[in-house]
Amino acid sequence: MYIEQTIANVKKQVKEWRAQGLSVGFVPTMGYLHEGHQSLIQRAVEENDKVVVSIFVNPIQFGPKEDLESYPRDLDADCTLCEKTGAAMVFCPEVSEMYGEGFSAYVDMNGVTAELCGKSRPTHFRGVCTVVCKLFNIVTPDRAYFGEKDAQQLAVIRHMVRDLNMNVEVVGCPIVREADGLAKSSRNTYLSPEERKAALVLSRSIQAGKAMIQAGEKNGDRVLEEMCRILSEEPLAKIDYVEMVRWDSIEIHHQADVPVLVAIAVYIGTTRLIDNFILE
């Protein structure tokens, strides 16, 4: 497995693969990889000849009071997981490699970024779209793999690819959960034992909302009210948002009569966690 830190080396190697007629899959990550990331890499390995995994804690998608400096990092463990899972290359650039002196080009998205995480983190998706656009231009993958836990991010990237006519297939992959239901997240490491137990309220809320709709409830407000009730019973939980949106446009929607995304963001102590379910 190649471990590369420069854009030039990544482009050179991908060019060699292309000359051999090989397909390239891509999994962009911020590192501190867990089984959720591993499932994306496994899917990419199954569907492509070569797989590139990027590991880059992207500073421009963090707000001024967010956890950029404390975000967990373990490059050695990440590279071991990538190699074991079948990746052909890890791209782990320095910030200066990705954003050189005088960097001033950004990718802004409207509409699909207005609700959910985009409302409470107004600069977040500008940073996400910019770095993903750059990574797509560097790696030039046939397919790129994203987890459905970050469902709004997945929708935003799909819109960006469509609107900018990018030649890459965006593949969404299911949420991977702990045995007790908590969605896998690098930020779970922030939780104390008490907070870790409290965090299970997210998956309980998600399961209850999904069960209501599957049982025939179409009124989104009733579904969200029950989910909020469950979340409010946990003293350590502070709701950021609980919303139902159209899955295609991330517009607020109040009826489960079209494909919908029901998404939540909740603070457990000082740690912000997200979860969701999608009904096609």
Per-residue model confidence as pLDDT tens digits over 16-27: 999 999 999 999
What's the whole-number average pLDDT of the chain?
97
Contact status, residue 170 vs residue 189, Cβ threshold 8 Å: no
What is the phi/psi pair of residue 260, to 5°? -125, 155
Task: Tell me the average pLDDT across 110-136.
Answer: 96
Give 74-85 pLDDT, tens digit per residue.
999 999 999 999
Q: Looking at residue 229, what is its pLDDT?
A: 98
| 37 noted as active-site residue | yes
Q: Which of 37, 124, 159, 253 is catalytic?
A: 37
The half-sphere exposure of 228 on its side-chain side, counting CA atoms within 13 A, is 12
pTM of the model: 0.97
The pLDDT of residue 48 is: 98
3-state secondary structure 122-134: CCHHHHHHHHHHH
Rounded to 10 degrees, the C-alpha dihedral 51/28/130/64 comes to -160
